[in-house]
Structure 1
Amino acid sequence: MKIIIVDDDTLVSTSLKTIIEANENFKVIATASNGAEAIRLYKEHIPDILLMDIRMGRVSGLDAAEEILNTFPKAKILFLTTFADDEYIVKALKIGAKGYILKQHYNSIVPALNAVCSGQNVFGEQIISKLPTVAFDMENKKDYKEYGLLDKEYVIIKLVAKGLSNKEIAKEIYLGEGTVRNYLSVILDKLNLRDRTQLAIFYFNNLQK
Protein backbone atom coordinates (compact mmCIF):
# COMPACT_ATOMS: atom_id res chain seq x y z
CA MET A 1 0.00 0.00 0.00
CA LYS A 2 1.29 3.44 -0.97
CA ILE A 3 1.31 6.07 1.77
CA ILE A 4 2.01 9.81 1.67
CA ILE A 5 2.89 11.49 4.98
CA VAL A 6 2.14 15.18 5.49
CA ASP A 7 3.54 16.92 8.59
CA ASP A 8 5.35 20.23 9.04
CA ASP A 9 7.79 18.63 11.48
CA THR A 10 10.48 16.77 9.51
CA LEU A 11 11.45 14.69 12.53
CA VAL A 12 7.85 13.51 12.90
CA SER A 13 7.66 12.60 9.21
CA THR A 14 10.91 10.64 9.43
CA SER A 15 9.75 8.80 12.55
CA LEU A 16 6.40 7.98 11.00
CA LYS A 17 8.10 6.64 7.87
CA THR A 18 10.25 4.34 10.01
CA ILE A 19 7.24 3.07 11.99
CA ILE A 20 5.10 2.52 8.91
CA GLU A 21 7.71 0.85 6.72
CA ALA A 22 8.52 -1.62 9.49
CA ASN A 23 5.32 -3.23 8.20
CA GLU A 24 5.99 -4.82 4.81
CA ASN A 25 2.46 -4.00 3.62
CA PHE A 26 3.22 -0.28 3.43
CA LYS A 27 5.56 1.92 1.42
CA VAL A 28 5.93 5.66 2.07
CA ILE A 29 6.24 7.07 -1.44
CA ALA A 30 6.46 10.77 -0.54
CA THR A 31 6.37 13.26 2.33
CA ALA A 32 5.11 16.84 2.46
CA SER A 33 5.26 19.68 4.98
CA ASN A 34 2.01 21.54 4.26
CA GLY A 35 -1.43 21.18 2.72
CA ALA A 36 -0.48 22.73 -0.61
CA GLU A 37 2.23 20.11 -1.12
CA ALA A 38 -0.20 17.41 -0.03
CA ILE A 39 -2.66 18.39 -2.77
CA ARG A 40 0.08 18.38 -5.43
CA LEU A 41 1.56 15.06 -4.31
CA TYR A 42 -1.83 13.39 -4.02
CA LYS A 43 -2.66 14.31 -7.63
CA GLU A 44 0.77 13.12 -8.76
CA HIS A 45 0.87 9.77 -6.95
CA ILE A 46 -2.76 8.88 -6.03
CA PRO A 47 -1.71 7.05 -2.84
CA ASP A 48 -3.77 4.41 -1.09
CA ILE A 49 -3.79 6.56 2.08
CA LEU A 50 -2.84 10.15 2.86
CA LEU A 51 -1.65 10.39 6.48
CA MET A 52 -1.84 14.05 7.39
CA ASP A 53 -1.45 16.51 10.26
CA ILE A 54 -4.05 19.26 10.70
CA ARG A 55 -2.26 22.45 11.80
CA MET A 56 0.30 23.39 9.17
CA GLY A 57 1.49 26.52 7.41
CA ARG A 58 0.17 27.82 4.06
CA VAL A 59 -2.72 25.36 3.71
CA SER A 60 -4.03 23.38 6.70
CA GLY A 61 -4.56 19.65 6.61
CA LEU A 62 -8.34 20.10 6.80
CA ASP A 63 -8.42 22.53 3.87
CA ALA A 64 -6.15 20.27 1.83
CA ALA A 65 -8.30 17.24 2.59
CA GLU A 66 -11.45 19.08 1.57
CA GLU A 67 -9.94 20.07 -1.78
CA ILE A 68 -8.62 16.57 -2.42
CA LEU A 69 -11.94 14.93 -1.56
CA ASN A 70 -13.82 17.33 -3.83
CA THR A 71 -11.70 16.07 -6.72
CA PHE A 72 -11.13 12.49 -5.53
CA PRO A 73 -14.19 11.54 -3.43
CA LYS A 74 -12.84 8.04 -2.80
CA ALA A 75 -9.57 9.35 -1.34
CA LYS A 76 -8.66 7.76 1.98
CA ILE A 77 -7.40 10.46 4.32
CA LEU A 78 -6.35 9.69 7.87
CA PHE A 79 -5.63 12.58 10.21
CA LEU A 80 -2.84 12.14 12.74
CA THR A 81 -2.62 15.12 15.06
CA THR A 82 -1.94 16.26 18.60
CA PHE A 83 -5.19 18.23 18.70
CA ALA A 84 -8.56 16.80 19.75
CA ASP A 85 -10.44 20.09 19.28
CA ASP A 86 -14.17 19.67 18.70
CA GLU A 87 -14.04 22.08 15.75
CA TYR A 88 -11.41 19.99 13.99
CA ILE A 89 -13.21 16.71 14.66
CA VAL A 90 -16.50 18.06 13.30
CA LYS A 91 -14.89 19.33 10.09
CA ALA A 92 -12.92 16.11 9.61
CA LEU A 93 -16.16 14.12 9.83
CA LYS A 94 -18.08 16.47 7.55
CA ILE A 95 -15.53 16.46 4.74
CA GLY A 96 -15.33 12.67 4.74
CA ALA A 97 -12.01 11.80 6.39
CA LYS A 98 -11.55 8.08 7.02
CA GLY A 99 -10.04 8.56 10.44
CA TYR A 100 -8.74 10.86 13.17
CA ILE A 101 -6.17 9.60 15.65
CA LEU A 102 -3.79 11.28 18.07
CA LYS A 103 -0.01 11.27 17.63
CA GLN A 104 0.62 10.29 21.21
CA HIS A 105 -1.07 6.95 20.47
CA TYR A 106 1.68 5.95 18.03
CA ASN A 107 1.03 2.24 18.58
CA SER A 108 -2.32 2.67 16.85
CA ILE A 109 -0.91 4.11 13.62
CA VAL A 110 -0.22 0.88 11.71
CA PRO A 111 -3.48 -0.81 12.87
CA ALA A 112 -5.33 2.35 11.81
CA LEU A 113 -3.70 2.25 8.36
CA ASN A 114 -4.67 -1.41 7.99
CA ALA A 115 -8.24 -0.64 9.01
CA VAL A 116 -8.56 2.27 6.59
CA CYS A 117 -7.09 0.14 3.78
CA SER A 118 -9.81 -2.45 4.43
CA GLY A 119 -12.52 0.22 4.11
CA GLN A 120 -13.16 0.99 7.78
CA ASN A 121 -13.37 4.38 9.46
CA VAL A 122 -10.96 4.79 12.36
CA PHE A 123 -11.27 7.19 15.26
CA GLY A 124 -9.15 7.03 18.40
CA GLU A 125 -10.80 6.26 21.70
CA GLN A 126 -10.52 9.88 22.87
CA ILE A 127 -12.12 11.05 19.63
CA ILE A 128 -14.97 8.51 19.79
CA SER A 129 -15.82 9.71 23.29
CA LYS A 130 -16.42 13.18 21.84
CA LEU A 131 -18.59 12.18 18.88
CA PRO A 132 -22.01 12.33 20.52
CA THR A 133 -21.40 15.85 21.80
CA VAL A 134 -19.57 17.33 18.85
CA ALA A 135 -21.79 15.88 16.15
CA PHE A 136 -25.18 16.66 17.65
CA ASP A 137 -26.83 19.52 19.48
CA MET A 138 -27.98 17.97 22.71
CA GLU A 139 -28.50 21.10 24.78
CA ASN A 140 -32.31 20.98 24.71
CA LYS A 141 -32.85 17.30 25.45
CA LYS A 142 -34.77 16.10 28.48
CA ASP A 143 -32.87 14.07 31.05
CA TYR A 144 -32.69 10.71 29.29
CA LYS A 145 -30.29 9.34 31.90
CA GLU A 146 -33.20 8.68 34.23
CA TYR A 147 -34.01 5.84 31.83
CA GLY A 148 -30.48 4.44 32.14
CA LEU A 149 -29.55 5.57 28.62
CA LEU A 150 -26.04 6.45 27.52
CA ASP A 151 -25.22 9.48 25.37
CA LYS A 152 -24.75 7.45 22.19
CA GLU A 153 -27.92 5.45 22.88
CA TYR A 154 -29.86 8.71 23.08
CA VAL A 155 -28.36 9.84 19.77
CA ILE A 156 -29.43 6.57 18.11
CA ILE A 157 -32.97 6.87 19.51
CA LYS A 158 -33.17 10.40 18.14
CA LEU A 159 -32.13 9.22 14.69
CA VAL A 160 -34.60 6.33 14.78
CA ALA A 161 -37.31 8.86 15.58
CA LYS A 162 -36.22 10.84 12.51
CA GLY A 163 -36.90 7.75 10.40
CA LEU A 164 -33.33 6.77 9.61
CA SER A 165 -32.48 3.16 8.82
CA ASN A 166 -29.68 1.27 10.58
CA LYS A 167 -27.45 1.85 7.57
CA GLU A 168 -28.17 5.59 7.59
CA ILE A 169 -27.59 5.81 11.34
CA ALA A 170 -24.29 3.96 10.98
CA LYS A 171 -23.14 6.47 8.38
CA GLU A 172 -24.35 9.43 10.45
CA ILE A 173 -22.46 8.52 13.63
CA TYR A 174 -19.55 6.62 12.10
CA LEU A 175 -20.27 3.16 13.46
CA GLY A 176 -20.67 -0.19 11.75
CA GLU A 177 -24.21 -1.22 10.85
CA GLY A 178 -23.87 -4.30 13.07
CA THR A 179 -22.84 -2.11 15.99
CA VAL A 180 -25.95 0.02 15.50
CA ARG A 181 -28.12 -3.13 15.54
CA ASN A 182 -26.48 -4.18 18.80
CA TYR A 183 -27.10 -0.75 20.32
CA LEU A 184 -30.75 -0.91 19.30
CA SER A 185 -31.19 -4.34 20.85
CA VAL A 186 -29.77 -3.06 24.15
CA ILE A 187 -31.93 0.08 24.01
CA LEU A 188 -35.14 -1.87 23.41
CA ASP A 189 -34.31 -4.16 26.34
CA LYS A 190 -33.58 -1.21 28.62
CA LEU A 191 -36.86 0.49 27.77
CA ASN A 192 -38.89 -2.72 27.56
CA LEU A 193 -40.01 -1.88 24.03
CA ARG A 194 -40.75 -4.23 21.13
CA ASP A 195 -39.62 -2.42 17.99
CA ARG A 196 -38.49 0.78 16.28
CA THR A 197 -42.00 2.16 16.06
CA GLN A 198 -42.48 1.91 19.81
CA LEU A 199 -39.04 3.44 20.27
CA ALA A 200 -39.91 6.44 18.10
CA ILE A 201 -43.16 6.95 20.02
CA PHE A 202 -41.23 6.69 23.29
CA TYR A 203 -38.85 9.39 22.10
CA PHE A 204 -41.60 11.84 21.19
CA ASN A 205 -43.53 11.18 24.42
CA ASN A 206 -40.65 11.13 26.87
CA LEU A 207 -37.45 12.60 25.49
CA GLN A 208 -38.30 15.34 23.04
CA LYS A 209 -38.50 18.79 24.57
Structure 2
Amino acid sequence: MIKIVVIDDDCLVTQALATIINSELDLKVAATGHSAQEAITAYSSYRPDVLLLDIRMPQHTGLEATKTILQNDAQAKILLLTTFTDDDYISQALKLGVKGYLIKQNLNAIVPAIRAVANNQSVFGNEIMKKIQPQASQITTYNLSLTPREQEVLTLVAQGLNNKEIAHTIYLSEGTIRNYISQLLDKLQVRDRTQLAIYYYQKLAHT
Protein backbone atom coordinates (compact mmCIF):
# COMPACT_ATOMS: atom_id res chain seq x y z
CA MET A 1 0.00 0.00 0.00
CA ILE A 2 1.37 3.40 -1.02
CA LYS A 3 0.82 5.97 1.73
CA ILE A 4 0.17 9.56 0.64
CA VAL A 5 -0.22 12.92 2.35
CA VAL A 6 -2.19 15.54 0.39
CA ILE A 7 -1.71 19.26 1.03
CA ASP A 8 -3.63 21.99 -0.81
CA ASP A 9 -4.93 25.30 0.49
CA ASP A 10 -8.27 24.71 -1.25
CA CYS A 11 -10.35 22.34 0.87
CA LEU A 12 -12.44 21.20 -2.10
CA VAL A 13 -9.33 20.36 -4.12
CA THR A 14 -7.87 18.46 -1.19
CA GLN A 15 -11.07 16.47 -0.79
CA ALA A 16 -11.28 15.73 -4.51
CA LEU A 17 -7.67 14.55 -4.66
CA ALA A 18 -8.15 12.36 -1.58
CA THR A 19 -11.27 10.80 -3.11
CA ILE A 20 -9.48 10.04 -6.38
CA ILE A 21 -6.48 8.54 -4.60
CA ASN A 22 -8.47 6.46 -2.11
CA SER A 23 -10.48 4.91 -4.94
CA GLU A 24 -7.32 3.03 -5.95
CA LEU A 25 -6.70 -0.29 -4.20
CA ASP A 26 -2.95 0.26 -3.81
CA LEU A 27 -3.12 3.88 -2.61
CA LYS A 28 -4.16 5.36 0.72
CA VAL A 29 -4.34 8.96 1.92
CA ALA A 30 -2.91 8.99 5.43
CA ALA A 31 -3.51 12.68 6.09
CA THR A 32 -4.52 15.96 4.47
CA GLY A 33 -3.71 19.59 5.18
CA HIS A 34 -3.98 23.10 3.84
CA SER A 35 -0.73 24.94 4.59
CA ALA A 36 3.03 24.66 4.33
CA GLN A 37 3.33 24.15 8.08
CA GLU A 38 0.77 21.35 7.99
CA ALA A 39 2.78 19.76 5.19
CA ILE A 40 5.93 19.78 7.32
CA THR A 41 4.11 18.46 10.38
CA ALA A 42 2.19 15.77 8.47
CA TYR A 43 5.32 14.56 6.70
CA SER A 44 7.13 14.23 10.02
CA SER A 45 4.20 12.44 11.65
CA TYR A 46 3.20 10.05 8.85
CA ARG A 47 6.39 9.61 6.78
CA PRO A 48 4.36 9.08 3.59
CA ASP A 49 5.67 7.29 0.53
CA VAL A 50 4.63 10.36 -1.47
CA LEU A 51 3.81 13.92 -0.39
CA LEU A 52 1.39 15.57 -2.82
CA LEU A 53 1.93 19.29 -2.26
CA ASP A 54 0.43 22.46 -3.70
CA ILE A 55 2.90 25.25 -4.48
CA ARG A 56 0.88 28.42 -3.96
CA MET A 57 -0.47 28.66 -0.42
CA PRO A 58 -0.98 31.53 2.06
CA GLN A 59 1.90 32.66 4.28
CA HIS A 60 4.44 30.07 3.12
CA THR A 61 4.66 28.30 -0.24
CA GLY A 62 4.90 24.64 -1.03
CA LEU A 63 8.46 25.29 -2.19
CA GLU A 64 9.38 26.56 1.28
CA ALA A 65 7.82 23.47 2.84
CA THR A 66 9.69 21.29 0.33
CA LYS A 67 13.00 22.86 1.27
CA THR A 68 12.42 22.26 4.98
CA ILE A 69 11.26 18.66 4.48
CA LEU A 70 14.19 17.75 2.23
CA GLN A 71 16.65 19.30 4.68
CA ASN A 72 15.30 16.92 7.32
CA ASP A 73 14.89 13.92 4.99
CA ALA A 74 16.81 13.98 1.71
CA GLN A 75 14.94 10.84 0.59
CA ALA A 76 11.50 12.48 0.79
CA LYS A 77 9.42 11.91 -2.35
CA ILE A 78 7.57 15.12 -3.10
CA LEU A 79 5.20 15.62 -6.02
CA LEU A 80 4.33 19.29 -6.50
CA LEU A 81 0.97 20.40 -7.86
CA THR A 82 0.16 23.82 -9.24
CA THR A 83 -2.14 25.71 -11.57
CA PHE A 84 0.86 27.64 -12.85
CA THR A 85 3.71 26.83 -15.26
CA ASP A 86 5.85 29.70 -14.07
CA ASP A 87 9.47 29.19 -15.20
CA ASP A 88 10.86 30.36 -11.86
CA TYR A 89 8.75 27.86 -9.92
CA ILE A 90 9.88 25.05 -12.20
CA SER A 91 13.53 26.02 -11.81
CA GLN A 92 13.25 26.24 -8.02
CA ALA A 93 11.43 22.91 -7.80
CA LEU A 94 14.09 21.10 -9.83
CA LYS A 95 16.92 22.63 -7.83
CA LEU A 96 15.30 21.57 -4.56
CA GLY A 97 15.12 17.96 -5.75
CA VAL A 98 11.42 17.22 -6.03
CA LYS A 99 10.36 13.98 -7.68
CA GLY A 100 7.70 15.55 -9.86
CA TYR A 101 5.83 18.66 -10.90
CA LEU A 102 2.31 18.49 -12.36
CA ILE A 103 -0.50 20.83 -13.32
CA LYS A 104 -3.32 19.97 -10.92
CA GLN A 105 -6.05 20.28 -13.57
CA ASN A 106 -4.58 17.18 -15.22
CA LEU A 107 -6.39 14.85 -12.83
CA ASN A 108 -5.91 11.75 -14.99
CA ALA A 109 -2.14 12.03 -14.57
CA ILE A 110 -2.09 12.27 -10.79
CA VAL A 111 -2.56 8.60 -9.86
CA PRO A 112 0.04 7.30 -12.38
CA ALA A 113 2.39 10.06 -11.23
CA ILE A 114 2.03 9.03 -7.59
CA ARG A 115 2.84 5.42 -8.45
CA ALA A 116 5.86 6.48 -10.51
CA VAL A 117 7.21 8.75 -7.77
CA ALA A 118 6.68 6.01 -5.18
CA ASN A 119 8.87 3.82 -7.43
CA ASN A 120 11.57 6.49 -7.36
CA GLN A 121 10.93 7.80 -10.87
CA SER A 122 10.85 11.47 -11.84
CA VAL A 123 7.58 12.78 -13.24
CA PHE A 124 6.98 16.04 -15.05
CA GLY A 125 3.69 16.85 -16.76
CA ASN A 126 3.44 17.64 -20.44
CA GLU A 127 2.96 21.33 -19.70
CA ILE A 128 6.19 21.36 -17.70
CA MET A 129 8.15 19.45 -20.32
CA LYS A 130 7.07 21.98 -22.96
CA LYS A 131 8.76 24.67 -20.86
CA ILE A 132 12.01 22.75 -20.64
CA GLN A 133 12.39 20.60 -23.75
CA PRO A 134 13.07 23.40 -26.27
CA GLN A 135 16.48 23.70 -24.66
CA ALA A 136 17.22 19.96 -24.89
CA SER A 137 19.52 20.32 -27.90
CA GLN A 138 21.90 22.31 -25.71
CA ILE A 139 22.90 19.13 -23.87
CA THR A 140 25.79 18.78 -26.32
CA THR A 141 27.35 21.98 -24.97
CA TYR A 142 28.10 20.32 -21.63
CA ASN A 143 31.76 19.81 -20.87
CA LEU A 144 31.10 16.55 -19.07
CA SER A 145 33.21 14.11 -21.09
CA LEU A 146 30.02 12.20 -21.83
CA THR A 147 29.72 10.09 -24.95
CA PRO A 148 26.90 10.91 -27.38
CA ARG A 149 25.05 7.78 -26.22
CA GLU A 150 25.42 8.77 -22.55
CA GLN A 151 24.05 12.22 -23.39
CA GLU A 152 21.12 10.57 -25.15
CA VAL A 153 20.36 8.34 -22.16
CA LEU A 154 20.69 11.31 -19.78
CA THR A 155 18.17 13.28 -21.85
CA LEU A 156 15.65 10.42 -21.76
CA VAL A 157 16.10 9.93 -18.01
CA ALA A 158 15.43 13.64 -17.55
CA GLN A 159 12.21 13.25 -19.52
CA GLY A 160 11.01 10.70 -16.96
CA LEU A 161 11.34 7.53 -19.03
CA ASN A 162 12.06 4.27 -17.20
CA ASN A 163 14.72 1.78 -18.31
CA LYS A 164 12.32 -0.25 -20.45
CA GLU A 165 11.05 2.85 -22.24
CA ILE A 166 14.58 4.14 -22.85
CA ALA A 167 15.65 0.75 -24.18
CA HIS A 168 12.68 0.71 -26.57
CA THR A 169 13.35 4.29 -27.70
CA ILE A 170 17.01 3.81 -28.62
CA TYR A 171 16.88 0.08 -29.46
CA LEU A 172 19.13 -1.26 -26.71
CA SER A 173 18.59 -3.88 -24.00
CA GLU A 174 17.42 -2.90 -20.53
CA GLY A 175 20.68 -4.30 -19.15
CA THR A 176 22.67 -1.98 -21.38
CA ILE A 177 20.57 0.97 -20.24
CA ARG A 178 21.22 0.05 -16.60
CA ASN A 179 24.93 0.05 -17.36
CA TYR A 180 24.73 3.47 -18.98
CA ILE A 181 22.84 4.88 -16.02
CA SER A 182 25.42 3.46 -13.61
CA GLN A 183 28.13 5.15 -15.67
CA LEU A 184 26.24 8.44 -15.57
CA LEU A 185 25.74 8.26 -11.82
CA ASP A 186 29.46 7.67 -11.41
CA LYS A 187 30.60 10.38 -13.84
CA LEU A 188 28.23 13.04 -12.56
CA GLN A 189 28.63 11.97 -8.92
CA VAL A 190 24.91 11.92 -8.16
CA ARG A 191 22.98 9.34 -6.17
CA ASP A 192 19.95 8.40 -8.28
CA ARG A 193 17.96 9.02 -11.48
CA THR A 194 16.09 11.92 -9.95
CA GLN A 195 19.39 13.66 -9.30
CA LEU A 196 20.40 12.91 -12.90
CA ALA A 197 17.27 14.70 -14.10
CA ILE A 198 17.88 17.62 -11.76
CA TYR A 199 21.50 17.87 -12.91
CA TYR A 200 20.36 17.89 -16.52
CA TYR A 201 17.83 20.69 -16.02
CA GLN A 202 20.10 22.78 -13.81
CA LYS A 203 22.82 22.72 -16.43
CA LEU A 204 20.40 23.59 -19.19
CA ALA A 205 19.20 26.58 -17.22
CA HIS A 206 22.73 28.00 -17.18
CA THR A 207 23.68 27.44 -20.81
The CA distance in 2 between the partners of 1:129 and 1:85, in whole Å, is 12
For 1:155, the aligned partner's letter is: Q
The one-character-per-residue Cα deviations of 1:143-174 (angstroms, maximum 9, x if unpaired) are: xxxxxxxx42x222122x44246389738972
Change (3 A) 1:181 1:87: farther
The one-character-per-residue Cα deviations of 1:80-124 (angstroms, maximum 9, x if unpaired) are: 110110000000100000000101111000010111111110000
The residue that corresponds to 1:157 in the other structure is 140
Unaligned segments of structure 1, at least 5 residues: 134-150, 186-209
The residue that corresponds to 2:46 in the other structure is 45
The answer to whether the 8 A contact 2:78-2:98 is kept is yes
For 1:174, the aligned partner's letter is: A
Give the total of aligned pairs: 165
The one-character-per-residue Cα deviations of 1:51-95 (angstroms, maximum 9, x if unpaired) are: 010000122100100110111000000011101100000001000
Tell which structure's C-alpha radius of gyration is larger. 1
| Residues 1:174 and 2:158 are matched in the alignment | yes
Q: RMSD between aligned alpha carbons?
A: 2.6
The answer to whether the 8 A contact 1:52-1:79 is kept is yes
The CA distance in 1 between the partners of 2:86 and 2:99, in whole Å, is 17
| Residues 1:98 and 2:99 are matched in the alignment | yes
The CA distance in 2 between the partners of 1:35 and 1:104, in whole Å, is 21
Unaligned segments of structure 2, at least 5 residues: 173-207
The CA distance in 2 between the partners of 1:112 and 1:10, in whole Å, is 21
TM-score of the pair, normalised by structure 2: 0.72
Report the Cα offset of residue 131 of structure 1: 1.5
The CA distance in 2 between the partners of 1:67 and 1:170, in whole Å, is 28
For 1:125, the aligned partner's letter is: N
Query: Tell me, what secondary structure is at the counterpart of 1:126?
Result: helix
Report the Cα offset of residue 181 of structure 1: 11
TM-score of the pair, normalised by structure 1: 0.71
For 1:72, the aligned partner's letter is: D
The CA distance in 2 between the partners of 1:171 and 1:73, in whole Å, is 24
The answer to whether the 8 A contact 2:140-2:151 is kept is no
Query: Tell me, what secondary structure is at the counterpart of 2:113?
Result: helix
Change (3 A) 1:155 1:61: same
Change (3 A) 1:164 1:95: farther
